[in-house]
């Protein structure tokens, strides 16, 4: 309840409020007292998550929160997007703000609003809004209002066009101005203009030849000058590549740093005028302004940390998950499962007995209290129903990849398993090691620390040496994954070379190994700054036991009344720093589903993950399909409520569930060796592209079934003023159970001088209805609802004429339509 109050009645100070002159005057006073050295110090971090302050003048450090450790694990942002519930998003953001303050932090590095251009994008799961810029805008505004209302600084990210993880530091997005303005920037623009968002994070990638951290067109021309952004721009961690160009472009803060924003790098160009003093003072003003408006400057230094109602937040997480689950198929009312008519249930799959709470990377929230689906089902069914479990398939590590401990030995005599590890307190692998060990695998994540108390944090290296003895002759695919550097040598030949400071990056190679031969192996790793992670994986063939898992699962399914198969991805398979390996389900999950469905016609499939998957191999065999996304710590309870009818699924897809690779233009230039990503499709992303090219996805954007039915009638469109309109439509629950419907409003330009999509989402409303109840959904349209970005005028333009207003239950299910003339 407190989170909702914070969301609805924000106590945060607005830039436009009466206190603005007072704040600016206080900033003027501080600017006059700060030395140039102290000003420069405010431009970067003093640790991985803290920005520097100035103790002499009472300016506190700004403490950031990337991952909410020991906090409530909420559903992933893509699941929140599937709720289409802005009030809920606002409430949840306020709750996250409360937990951020309870951890003694000032800033939470969210929300991510990057568009789902690449359907296998590694961070799609953590992006609010899916593939549509209007939905992303509404989610962004709601989230920011909630968290800023709690007095916590958000950081909307990643500005801009960070739509893939593969080579994200080096990929150059080649995009036109219209596509950028209509598809990729609207969520950021809405955040600035409607919430005065306090912080924007620049992205890793390049846009039209320049890294975004050095892109003046994005950071200064558009963000600060055109939109009127008052807050500060922070880099993504390690996203700054030079000092002068970035400062002059409008990159206010380098994190974590400082690597480039140092005294010796910035003072000479400032003193010589290469970096103008007004740019320096503007950046300082911005970082101070946010400290003031967020309340940081006026908090007592040793004030006790606030508390929050953990039980209330858990219930909020459960509600959000239930609202976000999308029912995709329900043949012959297979769902909900009637427990009074079922004696046995087979619970099957790699995601059945594990709580896959979220995708990986900085958005992952570890949870010790996560409820797996198996536990949720057992808790719901009680003693009257027999629940049998079968794993069915493995689901650990990257797709088709495993760690290879059985191949590693300390020397060619093959007497000791594992590799000899030597840890050095330098970056040259020189001198006596600070520590040694025998490591059975190379699979380490030391966070921002070190592997051993004797090893320093940052600036350390590791060398693993030994023998490699394969048990099968074949060509192996090998991947090394590291933050920062990695090198792999076999028989002294370098196969992987990633010896540099970098965000976690994977390097791949092929190498033929012969059974019975012994190979010298050497792996080297360096941690230069920040996170320390290193892994070495091999594409080993499935174990015999893995193959037999499917047969065992099918037998379990055959002996039960109903079979529920939990498949999909994990935080390792879908994560920041790596895109998914493809649209297919990982490992042998397709074969598992087919085998179970052949054994039991009452098979329900539940998919975990933030992206679409190819379902054609088995969709006609199963009775039901549920898209569960990542549902946080309450996963098992949420899914049990949905499957057994305690909750009615009401989520709608925030992305098009494409049928195959041909339905997305993003794959055409994906992983280009020239590091160019031309967005040749322009504004035609997601359903815009599918409709233009007459392609039918497995399920359209905005689609989602319910356990009840809804009818639409009495569409009215009334002009409010100018080019603003009020759309109203009556929605009635014609079924026998309560449920929520998400009414969607699309706009079509009947005749335009330029090419425009067949329809574009411009409004929506979530309506809760009891059986038989009718309500009127009211949705507003403004001038921007009819506009396109005119690159000749460099402005949004509405061409007077006829527009059709389409109201429906998805982008492909239009129930009512009416034409209006906009002057």
**Can you read off the two tokens belonging to residue 517?**
């031969």
DSSP state of 541: P
Cα–Cα distance measured from residue 439 to residue 437, given in angstroms and rounded to the nearest whole number: 6
Q: 576: closest CA among 222, 112, 243? A: 112
**Can you read off the two tokens belonging to residue 175?**
């995009």
Residues 6+ apart with CB under 8 A from 483: 502, 503, 504, 505, 527, 530, 531, 532, 533, 534, 577
**Can you read off the two tokens belonging to residue 699?**
């399920």
Give the 3-state secondary structure percentages of the chain, helix then strand then coil, rounded to 5. Answer: 30, 25, 45
Query: Which strand (E) or helix (H) includes residue 568?
Result: strand 562-568
**Can you read off the two tokens belonging to residue 89?**
């998003």
- Which strands form 724-733's sheet, in the order they lie side by side? 710-721, 724-733, 774-781
DSSP state of 72: -
- Asked whether the beta carbons of 649 and 327 are under 8 A apart, the reply is yes
Name the 3-class secondary structure at 11.
Answer: coil
Bridge partners (DSSP) of residue 781 are 725
Mind giving me the DSSP string for 642-710?
HHTTSS------SS-B-SSGGG-GGGGGTT-TT-EEE-TTTT--THHHHHHTT---SB-TT--B-SS-E
Q: 88: closest CA among 100, 102, 74, 98? A: 74
The pairing of beta strand 435-439 with beta strand 419-424: antiparallel
DSSP state of 723: T
Whole-Å CA distances, 429 to 435, 454, 655: 12, 15, 48
- Asked whether the beta carbons of 523 and 487 are under 8 A apart, the reply is yes
The pairing of beta strand 153-154 with beta strand 107-108: parallel
Whole-Å CA distances, 256 to 235, 434, 725: 8, 27, 46
Give residue for tokens 């060990």.
Answer: 437
Candidate list 236, 506, 527, 539, residue with the active-site label = 236
Name the 3-class secondary structure at 37.
Answer: helix
Name the 3-class secondary structure at 472.
Answer: coil
For this structure, is 298 an active site residue?
no
DSSP state of 18: T
Q: Which residues are catalytic?
A: 236
């Amino acid at each position: 309840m407190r989170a909702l109050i914070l969301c609805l009645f924000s106590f945060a100070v607005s830039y436009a409020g009466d206190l603005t002159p007072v704040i600016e005057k206080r900033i003027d006073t501080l600017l006059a007292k700060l030395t140039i050295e102290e000003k420069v110090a405010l431009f970067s971090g003093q640790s991985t998550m803290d920005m520097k302050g100035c103790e002499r003048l009472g300016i506190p450090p700004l403490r950031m929160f990337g991952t909410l450790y020991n906090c409530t694990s909420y559903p992933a942002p893509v699941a929140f997007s599937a709720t289409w519930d802005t009030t809920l998003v606002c409430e949840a953001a306020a709750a996250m703000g409360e937990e951020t303050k309870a951890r003694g932090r000032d800033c939470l590095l969210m929300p991510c609003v990057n568009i789902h251009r690449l359907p296998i994008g590694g961070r799609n799961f953590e992006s609010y809004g899916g593939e549509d810029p209007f939905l992303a805008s509404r989610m962004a505004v709601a989230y920011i209002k909630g968290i800023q209302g709690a007095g916590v600084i958000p950081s909307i990210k990643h500005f801009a066009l960070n739509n893939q993880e593969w080579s994200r530091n080096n990929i150059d997005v080649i995009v036109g101005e219209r596509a950028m303005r209509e598809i990729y920037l609207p969520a950021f623009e809405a955040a600035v203009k409607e919430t005065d968002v306090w912080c924007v994070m620049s992205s890793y990638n390049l846009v039209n030849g320049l890294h975004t951290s050095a892109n003046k067109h994005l950071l200064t021309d558009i963000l600060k000058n055109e939109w009127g952004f008052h807050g500060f721009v922070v880099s993504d961690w390690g996203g700054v590549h030079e000092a002068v160009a970035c400062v002059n472009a409008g990159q206010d803060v380098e994190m974590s740093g400082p690597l480039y924003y140092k005294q010796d790098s910035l003072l000479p160009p400032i003193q010589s005028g290469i970096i103008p003093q007004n740019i320096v003072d503007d950046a300082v003003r911005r970082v101070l302004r946010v400290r003031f408006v967020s309340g940081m400057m006026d908090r007592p230094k040793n004030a006790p940390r606030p508390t929050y109602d953990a039980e209330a937040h858990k219930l909020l997480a459960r509600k959000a998950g239930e609202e976000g689950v999308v029912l995709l198929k329900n043949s012959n009312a297979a769902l909900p499962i009637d427990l009074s008519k079922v004696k046995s249930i087979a619970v099957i799959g790699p995601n059945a007995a594990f709580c896959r709470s979220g995708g990986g990377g900085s958005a992952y929230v570890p949870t010790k209290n996560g409820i797996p689906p198996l536990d949720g089902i057992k808790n719901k069914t009680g003693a009257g129903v027999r629940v049998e479990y079968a794993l069915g398939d493995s689901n650990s590590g990257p797709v088709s990849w495993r760690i290879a401990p059985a191949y590693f030995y300390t020397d060619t005599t093959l007497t000791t398993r594992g590799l000899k590890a030597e840890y050095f307190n330098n970056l040259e692998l020189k001198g006596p090691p600070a520590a040694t060990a025998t490591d059975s695998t190379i699979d380490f994540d030391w966070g921002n620390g070190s592997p051993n108390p004797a090893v320093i944090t940052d600036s350390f290296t590791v060398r693993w040496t030994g023998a490699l003895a394969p048990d099968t002759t074949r060509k192996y695919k090998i991947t090394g994954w590291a933050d920062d550097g990695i090198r792999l040598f076999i028989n002294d030949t370098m196969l992987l070379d990633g010896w540099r400071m970098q965000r976690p990056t994977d390097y791949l190679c092929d190498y033929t190994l012969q059974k019975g031969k012994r190979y010298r192996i050497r792996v080297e790793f360096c941690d230069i700054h920040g996170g320390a992670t290193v892994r070495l994986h091999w594409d080993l063939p499935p174990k015999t036991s893995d193959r037999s898992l499917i047969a065992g699962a099918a037998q379990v399914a055959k002996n039960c009344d109903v079979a529920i198969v939990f498949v999909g991805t994990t935080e390792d398979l879908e994560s920041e720093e790596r895109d998914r390996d493809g649209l297919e389900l990982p490992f042998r999950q397709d074969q598992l589903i087919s085998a179970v469905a052949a054994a039991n016609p009452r098979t329900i499939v539940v998919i975990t993950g933030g992206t679409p998957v190819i379902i054609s191999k088995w969709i006609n065999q199963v009775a039901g399909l549920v898209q569960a996304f990542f549902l946080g710590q309450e996963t098992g309870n949420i899914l049990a409520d949905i499957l057994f009818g305690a909750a009615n699924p009401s989520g709608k897809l925030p992305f098009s569930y494409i049928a195959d690779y041909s339905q997305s233009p993003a794959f055409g230039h994906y992983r280009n060796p020239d590091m160019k990503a031309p967005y040749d499709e322009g504004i035609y992303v997601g359903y815009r592209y599918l409709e233009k090219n007459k392609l039918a996805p497995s399920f359209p954007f905005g689609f989602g079934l319910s356990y009840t039915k809804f009818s639409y009638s009495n569409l009215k469109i009334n002009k409010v003023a100018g080019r603003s309109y009020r759309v109203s439509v009556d929605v009635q629950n014609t079924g026998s159970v309560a449920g929520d419907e998400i009414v969607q409003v699309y706009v079509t330009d009947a005749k335009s001088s330029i090419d425009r999509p067949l329809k574009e989402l411009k409004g929506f409303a979530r309506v809760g209805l009891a059986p038989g109840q009718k309500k009127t959904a009211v949705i507003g349209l403004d001038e921007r609802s009819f506009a396109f970005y005119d690159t000749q005028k460099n402005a949004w333009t509405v061409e007077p004429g006829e527009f059709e207003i389409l109201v429906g239950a998805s982008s492909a299910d239009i129930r009512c339509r009416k034409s209006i003339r906009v002057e």
